């Protein structure tokens, strides 16, 4: 009798029961100044208004800016969880419309370089998470750090925020090139931000696809064109999301339409729909594929 196997099967069965099915979307932007955190937070609020339980992981570790943008007080952050002082639920702060935010550390610690004990601690922290979550939005740092790559590689959907300026387009291209070539990411959802018109958003997307179609084996989908909108800046001065401060303004309408779409993006039927899978992907060192 393989009673040992049975015990293992039972343990696995229990573990599966405890797993939360979570949609994990990482939001990235190649360069700073494209409005990535603003898109993340307002998308979180719009999804919450639709009844989704949303958790924002502020993974912009150099800046830790989600809390600053919303004027929220942060007592403890992810570094306290990694040190084993507190659990993940203890550091989550409540934002508008019931969104929850995990504040980042302000040091730029790279998840793939955590010590093994910290890896284990991070996975344990997430698997012990009591807060129910439907959607996890990961607000990554600007640029192409290992941190951004590891979060994007582990997410089910990668959303790239671009605006109509040459450096934004070249940086977005560079990011997608590395993610597709070295990390197996072949689908990207594009958000054209701060555009003057729908036509400008479509032209921006066309510029991007012209280069990617020629050089990369990836598929891009334009999921939102968010208009340039004075109320976005006004809301920021009030330390509020624009969907909260100006719900009917054009930028809010565009974000709400994105939230409706994102709410319908399918969850993988496989293990990758689980929070633990996201974390295991996140912390495993990238296998060196060797240079051909």
pLDDT at position 65: 67
- Count CB atoms within 10 A of the CB of residue 58: 29
pLDDT computed for residue 287 by the predictor: 47
Write down the pLDDT at residue 116. Answer: 66
Q: Reading across the β-sheet that carries 219-227, which strands appear in turn? A: 93-94, 100-102, 54-59, 135-140, 23-28, 157-162, 187-195, 219-227
How far apart are the C-alpha atoms of 27 and 255, rounded to whole Å?
Answer: 14
- Residue 162 pairs in a beta bridge with 192
pTM of the model: 0.85
The reported pLDDT for the residue numbered 152 is 85
pLDDT of residue 76: 84
**CA dist., res. 70 & res. 68, Å (int):** 5
Which pLDDT does position 284 carry in this prediction?
A: 66
C-alpha atoms less than 13 angstroms from C-alpha of 118 in its C-beta half-sphere: 15
> Per-residue confidence of the chain (292 residues) as pLDDT tens digits?
444 555 455 444 444 444 668 888 999 987 777 888 899 999 999 999 999 999 998 876 555 567 777 888 888 888 788 777 888 899 999 999 999 998 876 554 555 566 666 666 777 777 778 888 999 998 887 667 776 777 788 888 999 999 998 999 999 999 999 999 988 899 999 999 999 999 999 999 999 999 999 999 999 999 999 999 999 999 999 999 999 999 999 999 999 999 999 999 888 766 666 676 777 777 665 544 443 3
CA atoms within 13 A on the CB side of 12: 7
Helices assigned H by DSSP within the chain: 3-18, 36-49, 66-69, 78-82, 88-91, 116-127, 146-154, 166-183, 198-215, 230-237, 242-245, 250-264, 275-283
Contacts of 81 (CB under 8 A, 6+ apart): 87, 88, 90, 91, 121, 122, 125
What's the CATH fold of domain 28-280?
Rossmann fold (3.40.50)
- Which residues, in sequence order, are bridge partners of residue 221? 189
Please name the residues in contact with 68: beta carbons below 8 A apart, sequence gap of 6 or more.
none
Contact between residue 122 and residue 82 where contact means Cβ atoms under 8 Å apart: yes
Q: How far apart are the first and last CA of the chain?
A: 48
Give the per-residue SS3 of 224-282.
Answer: EEEECCHHHHHHHHCCCCHHHHCCCCHHHHHHHHHHHHHHHCCCCCCHHHEHHHHHHHH
Residue 282 C-alpha from the chain's centroid? 12
Q: What is the pLDDT of residue 290?
A: 40
């Amino acid at each position: 009798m393989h009673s040992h196997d049975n015990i293992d099967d039972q343990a696995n069965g229990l573990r599966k029961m405890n797993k939360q099915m979570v949609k994990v979307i990482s939001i990235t932007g190649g360069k700073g100044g494209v409005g990535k955190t603003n898109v993340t937070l307002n998308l979180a609020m719009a999804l919450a208004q639709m009844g989704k339980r949303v958790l924002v992981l502020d993974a912009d570790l150099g800046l830790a800016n989600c809390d600053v943008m919303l004027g929220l007080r942060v007592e403890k952050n992810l570094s306290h969880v990694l040190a084993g002082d507190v659990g993940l639920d203890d550091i989550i702060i409540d934002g508008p419309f019931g969104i929850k935010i995990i504040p980042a550390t302000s040091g730029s610690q790279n998840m793939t370089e955590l010590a093994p004990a910290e890896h284990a601690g991070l996975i344990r922290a997430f698997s012990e998470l009591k807060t129910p979550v439907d959607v996890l939005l990961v607000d990554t740092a600007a640029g192409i750090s290992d941190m951004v790559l590891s979060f994007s590689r582990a997410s089910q959907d990668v959303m790239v925020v671009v605006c109509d300026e040459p450096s934004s387009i070249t940086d977005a291209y560079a990011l997608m090139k590395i993610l597709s070539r070295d990390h197996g990411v072949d689908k990207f959802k594009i958000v054209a931000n701060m555009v003057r018109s729908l036509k400008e958003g479509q032209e921006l997307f066309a510029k991007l696809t012209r280069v990617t179609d020629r050089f990369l084996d990836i598929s891009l989908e334009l999921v939102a064109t968010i208009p340039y909108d004075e109320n976005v800046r006004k809301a920021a001065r009030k330390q509020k999301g624009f969907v909260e401060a100006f719900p009917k303004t054009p930028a809010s309408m565009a974000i709400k339409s994105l939230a409706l779409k994102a709410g319908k993006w399918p969850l993988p039927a496989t293990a990758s729909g689980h929070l633990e899978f996201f974390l295991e992907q996140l912390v495993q060192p990238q296998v060196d594929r060797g240079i051909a």
